[in-house]
Amino acid sequence: MKYLRNKEEKRFFFSLSFLSLLAISSNFLINRRAGVITLLICCAFSLTIYLYNRTRYQKIEELTNQIDEMLHGNQRLELHAEEGELAILSSQIAKMTVRLQEQSSSLKKEKEHLSSSLTDIAHQLRTPLTTLTMIGDFLSEPELSEQRRQELTRELLNMLKRMDQLITILLKIAKLEGQTVQYQPQKILIHELLTDSLQPFLIPLELKEMTVQLQGDHQAGLSIDASWTQEAIGNIIKNCIEHSEDGSILTLSYEQNALYTEITLSDTGKGIDSEDLPHIFERFYQGKNHHKNSFGVGLSLARMIITQQGGSLTAKNQQSGGALFTIRFYEDMLK
């Protein structure tokens, strides 16, 4: 019998057999009829235990075979057990199996995402590195004029600055995707948040003669990480400036209600091309009218920062023209 492979079961079986033989022998010495009755009772008792153990071990064997099939490629595990400790064990194994399958699927997706990320990063760095190599070759020419040397030096410095910006952005993306950013939410006035987000872009706004309109209750506040949220809003502002005509209007407005706090940023430019609209938040995506200095990661970075703080970021075109970006932080997510 298979269940006798279990040392405890074997010990129990032989102990029970010894006690049964002892009881039968004792009763036969006292009275033959009592010995026969004791023998029949012990046989029935032993048969009952045997049938019970055989059924239990069949269920355990079935459970073992199903787990073995799952481990060898069968992704579906169907466990059937009645009430009792075996049913509890089956239920826990089923939960563990589902969790392991989810983790396996998650690891597979992360592996694919990592491979895609490395490919994207390599592609983004290859272009400036190729340009730097070419500039280096030109600068090594002995007959190069001083004016051309200065032009190439400026281009070299600009390219190095661009690579430094790209690497900084890639490091931020890596931190966000690795869930290693420790957000420190604190109460801040939304008007102050938007004003601070505009500061780095005052000169570009002035150069393009753009008008900024800031609308909303000056007393409205929001509990978020100010530094990272400014980074996100700044990327959206940068996108609006790059895709707006000279003399256009940039509008930043906000409002609060019982459900959420909404911040909108809109421009009066040409808007987002219908083919680009579904992809503008994808990393390294560059639309038809992308800016020459754009890396295609600003809006992706902005969405990651906002969603990781429990918010949402969407984009659409206005009927009057221009793009409209909407940020929402829901009240139940902020508690």
Two tokens at 90?
């089956």
Name the domain boundary from 155, 177, 199. 177
Give a yes or no: residue 247 inside a domain: yes
Is the predicted pLDDT of residue 4 greater than 90, yes or no?
Answer: no
Are 222 and 316 within one domain? yes
Are 107 and 171 within one domain? yes
Give a yes or no: residue 91 inside a domain: no
Instruction: Measure the CA–CA gap between 100 and 120, rounded to whole angstroms.
Output: 30
Give a yes or no: residue 87 inside a domain: no
The strand pair at 260-267 and 221-224 is best described as unpaired
Are 117 and 238 within one domain? no
**Percent of the chain's residues with pLDDT above 90:** 23
Query: Mean pLDDT, to the nearest integer, of 260-274?
Result: 88
Which one has a higher pLDDT value, 105 or 200?
200
Give a yes or no: residue 85 inside a domain: no
Give a yes or no: residue 84 inside a domain: no
CA distances from 300 to 24, 45, 53, 92, 284 (A): 83, 72, 61, 40, 8
Which one has a higher pLDDT value, 78 or 165?
165
Domain boundaries, position 30: 2-78
**pLDDT classification of 174: cutoffs 50, 70, 90:** confident
Q: Which residues contact 294 (CB under 8 A, 6 or more apart)?
A: 242, 286
Cα four-point dihedral sign 52, 54, 55, 59: positive
Instruction: Measure the CA–CA gap between 199 and 203, rounded to whole angstroms.
Output: 9
Are 267 and 138 within one domain? no
Where residue 202 sits, what CATH number does that domain have?
Answer: 3.30.565.10
Query: Mean pLDDT, to the nearest integer, of 245-262?
Result: 91
Are 140 and 203 within one domain? no
Instruction: Measure the CA–CA gap between 93 and 60, rounded to whole angstroms.
Output: 12
Ranking 73-82, 121-130, 133-142 by mean pLDDT, the lowest is 73-82
Convert 285-323 to b/e letters by CB count within 10 Å (16 or more is b): eebeebeeeebbbbbbbbbbbbebbbbebebebeeeebb
Give the Cβ contact number of residue 202 at 10 Å. Answer: 10
Are 197 and 161 within one domain? no
Is the predicted pLDDT of residue 335 greater than 50, yes or no?
Answer: no
Give a yes or no: residue 92 inside a domain: no
Are 247 and 191 within one domain? yes
**Closest C-alpha among 296, 285, 282 to residue 165:** 296
Instruction: Measure the CA–CA gap between 66 and 332, rounded to whole angstroms.
Output: 43
Q: Which residues contact 54 (CB under 8 A, 6 or more apart)?
A: 1, 3
Are 133 and 267 within one domain? no
Start-to-end CA distance of the chain, whole Å, equals 61
Instruction: Measure the CA–CA gap between 101 and 113, rounded to whole angstroms.
Output: 18
**pLDDT classification of 213: cutoffs 50, 70, 90:** very high
pLDDT value at position 251?
Answer: 93
> DSSP state, 248?
-
Q: What is the pLDDT of residues 96-110, one digit of tens each?
A: 777 777 777 777 776
CA distances from 3 to 34, 60, 79 (A): 32, 10, 21
Give the Cβ contact number of residue 90 at 10 Å. Answer: 21
Name the domain boundary from 150, 177, 204. 177
Average pLDDT for the chain: 80
**Closest C-alpha among 314, 309, 201 to residue 266:** 314
Q: How many domains is the chain partitioned into structurally?
A: 3
Is the predicted pLDDT of residue 124 greater than 80, yes or no?
Answer: no
Q: What are phi and psi of 290, to 5 degrees?
A: -70, 150
Query: Mean pLDDT, to the nearest integer, of 260-277?
Result: 87
Q: At what angle do helices 190-198 and 226-242 cross, to 10 degrees?
A: 50
Q: What is the pLDDT of residues 23-79, one digit of tens each?
A: 777 777 777 777 777 778 888 877 787 777 777 777 777 777 777 776 666 655 555
Name the domain boundary from 120, 149, 177. 177
233, 241 contact by CB (below 8 A): no
> DSSP state, 277?
G
Are 200 and 273 within one domain? yes
Are 173 and 192 within one domain? no
Are 297 and 249 within one domain? yes
70, 94 contact by CB (below 8 A): no
Burial class (CB in 10 A: 0-12, 13-18, 19+), 95: exposed
